[in-house]
Structure 1
Amino acid sequence: MADWQKLIAVPAAVASLALLAWPPDAFTPEMTRAAALSVFALGLFAGGLFPEHVTAVLYFLIAMLFTVAPASVIFSGFHSAAFWLVFGGLVISVAVGETGLGARIAHAIAARLRPSYLTIIVGLAVMGLATTFLIPSGMGRIVVFVPLVMAVADRFGFVEGTRGRTGILITFSFCAIFPGFTILPANVPNVVLMGGIESQYGVHLSYAEYMLLHFPVLGFLKCVIIVTLVWLLYRETPRQHVVERQEDRSLPLPSKSLGNAERRLAAIVGAALLLWIFDFLHHISPGWIALGAAFLCLMPGAGVLPPAAFATKINFTPMFTTAGILGIAGLVAHSGIGEYLGQAMLEAADLSPGDQGKTLISLVATSVGVGLAATVVGIPAVMVPLAGGVSEATGMSLDVVLMTQAVAYSTVILPYQLPPLLVAAQVTGLGLAVTSRFCLLLAVITMVVLLPLDFLWWSMLGYLD
């Protein structure tokens, strides 16, 4: 991460010290400590002064040393369904790579693409979108599939440094990340939102309802816009079509038939996907479904992952990050800061019953601003505790207020707000400059075009009545 991004941590530290020195009159000592720690920790998460898991551990340490809140609040993230959803996603991600199922999917798509730039990017957009259902981890999708996409670009003659290659990598990376905001288990902000809503309001999000509400506009149409922008900005004529060349081993050719491990993994992921889709029938949390899928992948004798994979292949960093963010959300709610900030936000925005359009715009704008300061993962951490007060003051249903956060955190202004996008910028070799320009352009189009369409879709569904 660039040095200027790390400077975000400095004003956060100053703000936390200022809160300790000059707390608002309405703050109790407990609220002051909680507010200072929350601002400090979110600033570290946003600025990247330390690795995210180190920031999470530091948050836990400070909170317990200074008795900022009970341990059940500080460590609440560890027993949330969201935490175990991330764990399940990490295990599935490793299994997709280890069994060869990921390579098979990539090759199957590449072999069927005609040597037309539009066909290539549409195919890779479909592939990226498909992976959001297959792997419930944005980081996992990038790590598993980007190397395969780079090999596909090579096969079509798009060598490093060409505009065509840049467009191909942007297409897959963005289509593998952004539609995931509309599919409940697919990205960390979703599961943080889910965990916060469950713990603070007792509301269980439905996979199907969440997808119906967000996917058509912020998922599918956003993919269409990504493909259109890439075609307009980066299109080039493919130089060759060498998918069939046997001497080219940059993309390993899978065997013609599925291996036993691939079959078992496909069955496990397929069953998990069906359970996620039909959760409105069985009411099992997506987190426990993911945990069950992870167990089946890890179970000795299942033939999906070797026993050593748990210790050697799985990166547990995202789990600590998720637990830390959820702990901050719990701290904000427990301390009463949420209620105080909710009132301050309502007064500043002058929200009132009956002005639904203004309320929706204000909520999204406020959340987008929070995302710039605290990354998109911080949006539900900060905004979920405020939702109850906003709902009471405006007369808008709690569900609608909460769902505006998904609209906001799917509107990413710059890559530093979203760790998988940062990783994609590095793994693909695109760099932050190219990725930032495209990200900013997509954010502008999202706010100007997709947000009005999204709220129109909500209205058509009767969600805003």
Structure 2
Amino acid sequence: MPAAAKSLPTPRQWISLAATIAVTLFLLLTPGAPLLVRAGAVIGLCIGLWATGWLPQWLTALVFFTLCTVAGVAPADIVFAGFGSAATWLVFSGLIIGAAIQYTGLGTSLAQGVGPWLEGSYRRALIGVILLGLAMAFFMPSGMGRILLMVPILTTLADHLGYEPGERGRTGLILGGMMGTFLPTYAILPANVPNNVLMGAAEAVLGTPPNYSDYLLLHFPVLGLLKTLLLIAVMLWLYPAHPPRQTTTTLDAPSRLSRPELGLAGLLSVAVLLWMSDAWHGISPAWIGMLVALVCLFPGSRLMGQNPLQSISFDSFLYVAGIVSLGALAFHSGLGERVAGSLLSVLPLHEAADAAAFGMLSGLAMLLGTLVTLPGIPAILTPMAPGLANITGWTPEAVYMTQVVGFSTVLLPYQAPPLIVGILAARISLRETARLCLVTALLSVLLLWPLNYLWWEWLGWL
């Protein structure tokens, strides 16, 4: 009887089911309704389910695909756009690479190499993994790739330092490393997908993309360095922990790598070099990752076990495909532009001072990200930059750069596929991550946005 009771849906799951049925009936009974309305119903339902976490993330993605297909909300190339996205296949390759790191023991060896620098103090360990994550962004342009590469190393490190699953020290170390290679790195031009979308959209609209040095000077001092310090302070506040334990799993002296470990290390070194030089050779980080994954999966490579795909959870693969497809539907239906236009129509930009306009445009980007996810923000707002420049009196470049302030302020995890993939891979609570995002976002708006405005003003951008 208790086992049967546990298998019954929870009240939140009943509510989710009722909402899904209601949206399904609406779509089936109103086939002639405007695309904007039909797409809005599906998008609203899925964003609500992803934001609350009342259903598993992968199940909500399947709900999205099913509703859109059954009700004919959009063409198949839009509904399933996520499966054609490089980001989704980067997730797949990252899952393979992470499994290979665990299978060969390379994660343990890397943790043994890093561990001596981090032993003795939880504060030192936490600051160390955050700074390691930030440093990786200068060498590895894919946020998804960095997080998927770090997760097995962070989990192994937490094991060796004696932090058990569920302990705040373990959560702090893993979340700290992931957030360190995620939140501050929006200040580095090629380090995340939204940055690259902004670069491409700016070139398409204005003819010239931002260059690396100008972008770094404009954003890194505040959104990079100061946000890193803010993240360290927030992590130490939210996740206090005891010093690393001296246990049987404590870090041993690094030993010689086995042949499979050496092979995988060499393979990953080549991948990182190719990721670093993608501006030169033009190969997407996703396909570099897939080449590595194919080598790992090839029979006889000794980098994966028997039936390797059976040992991998495809939850994150389905989730990212769903998120990307949702953004494509929001763009295709015009919902994203309609929401942005409606928000702009109520913003008093004509008579606003520069500081107020800076806050409103950054806030617009931040709020729009809750609808279209982070990569969708520059695709929608960048074409509006010339018109907004006429209203504010700024240059178009200054207008579209406010998007970086907005999309670097992440309100909820579902907005950012790399982050959600990382917490799924590391088995970190969605609620814990959402709380960290909200606290960091609030403090960023209160503390970093004003400093960012003053920095821009001092540089002469406004």
Fold in common (TM above 0.5): yes
Alignment of 1:2-151 (within 5 A): 29-113=34-118, 115-127=120-132, 129=134, 136=144, 140=148, 144-151=152-159
Q: Report the equivalent of 2:182.
A: 180
Aligned to 1:348: 346
Q: CA RMSD in A?
A: 4.9
Q: Provide closer, same or farther for how the CA distance between residues 216 and 5 of structure 1 changes in structure 2, counting only shifts above 3 A.
A: farther
Structure 2 CA distance for partners of 1:116 and 1:6, relative to 1, 3 Å: farther
Residue identity in the other structure for 1:276: W
Aligned partner (choices 355, 361, 364) of residue 363 of structure 1: 361
In structure 2, distance between residues paired with 1:324 and 1:394: 34
Match for residue 392 of structure 1? 387
Q: Equivalences for 1:46-445 in 2 at 5 Å? A: 46-113=51-118, 115-127=120-132, 129=134, 136=144, 140=148, 144-154=152-162, 166=168, 169-181=171-183, 183=185, 190-191=192-193, 212=216, 217-229=222-234, 238=243, 242=246, 248-251=247-250, 253=252, 256-306=255-305, 308-309=307-308, 311-351=309-349, 357-370=355-368, 378-381=373-376, 384-389=379-384, 391-394=386-389, 404-405=402-403, 407-413=405-411, 432=431, 439-445=437-443
Structure 2, unaligned runs of 5 or more = 1-9
1:65-97 deviation line (CA, Å, top 9, x unaligned):
222221111112211222212222222222222
1:232–1:13 distance in 2 versus 1, CA, 3 Å: same
Judge which range, 81-90 or 358-367, deviates more: 358-367
In structure 2, the residue corresponding to 1:176 is in which secondary structure? helix
The 3 A distance-change label for structure 1 pair 195 and 414 is closer
Separation in 1, partners of 2:455, 2:14: 39
What is the alpha-carbon distance in structure 2 between the residues aligned to residue 321 and residue 123 of structure 1? 30
User: For 2:165 and 2:332, how far apart are their aligned partners in 1?
Assistant: 51
Superposed CA offset, 1:107-164 (max 9, x none): 222223453454343334345556777883587468524543443443xxx8899xxx
- The whole-number CA distance in structure 2 between the counterparts of 1:206 and 1:87 is 30
SS in 1 for 2:41: helix
Q: Deviation per CA, 1:211-245, whole angstroms, max 9, x where unpaired?
A: 947666445543333334555787788487x4xxx
Q: 1:233 & 1:5 partners in 2: Cα distance?
A: 29
Say how many residue pairs are matched.
441
Distance 1:206 1:86, change over 3 A: farther
Deviations 1:253-281 (A, max 9, x none): 58611122222222222222222222222
Cα distance in 1 for residues equivalent to 2:355 and 2:21: 36
Amino acid at match of 2:342: A
Is the CA contact 1:208–1:278 (under 8 Å) kept in the aligned structure 2? no
Give the Cα separation in 2 of the matches to 1:303 and 1:82.
Answer: 27
Percent of residue pairs bearing the same amino acid type? 30
Deviations 1:6-33 (A, max 9, x none): 97998899899999999xxxx9722222
Amino acid at match of 2:176: F
Q: Which stretch of the first structure deviates more once superposed, 378-387 or 272-281?
A: 378-387
Counterpart Cα distance in 1 of 2:444 and 2:275? 27
Gaps of 5+ in 1: 243-247
Q: Is the 8 A contact 1:90 1:137 kept in 2?
A: no
TM-score by length of structure 1 reads 0.73
Matched to 1:85, the amino acid is L
Tell me the amino acid that sits aligned with residue 281 of structure 2.
H
- The match for 1:245 is none
Shift of 1:51: 1.7
Residues 84 and 415 of structure 1: is their aligned pair in 2 closer, same or farther, counting only changes over 3 Å? closer
**AA of the residue aligned to 1:289:** I
Secondary structure at the residue paired with 2:362?
Answer: helix
Contact 2:264–2:303, Cα closer than 8 Å, also in 1: yes
